[in-house]
Amino acid sequence: MRYEVALLTNGKVPDEIIPSNIARVGSGGFLNVNTFTQSTPASTWSVNHSLNRIVLVNVFVDGVQVDADVTVTNTNISVSFPSPTIGKLTYI
């Protein structure tokens, strides 16, 4: 599953573009963007978070956003690749 997220220049996303099933958090009606870096090549990235809600995820390899097999729960993000990969993901 891939989510498209439009970021403002300050790195935050306004509530009005967040689906209604996503909790509103943060101050001033904005969500903070969190970043995870996978610096060791791995076929599966596992990211635990304490947001207790479904998050929106973008995956980047070599600075380019890519499609990946992403599974999201209220407390975990799992990203699978066909071969070991390094990169980053952002989630809100």
Contacts of 37 (CB under 8 A, 6+ apart): 87, 88
**What pLDDT is recorded for position 33?**
87
- Per residue in 51-83, pLDDT tens? 898 999 999 999 999 999 999 999 999 999 999
Residue 36 neighbours by CB distance under 10 Å: 18
Task: At 17, give phi and psi (nearest 5°).
Answer: -100, 5
Vertex 16, ends 10 and 54: CA angle to 5°? 85
The domains of the chain are located at 12-91
89 contacts 36 by C-beta, under 8 angstroms: yes
Q: Tell me, yes or no, if the pTM score tops 0.75.
A: no
pLDDT in tens, 43-53: 999 999 988 98
Q: What is the pLDDT of residues 1-57, one digit of tens each?
A: 444 444 444 555 555 555 544 445 555 555 678 999 999 999 999 999 988 989 999
The C-alpha atoms of residue 26 and residue 29 are separated, in whole angstroms, by 6
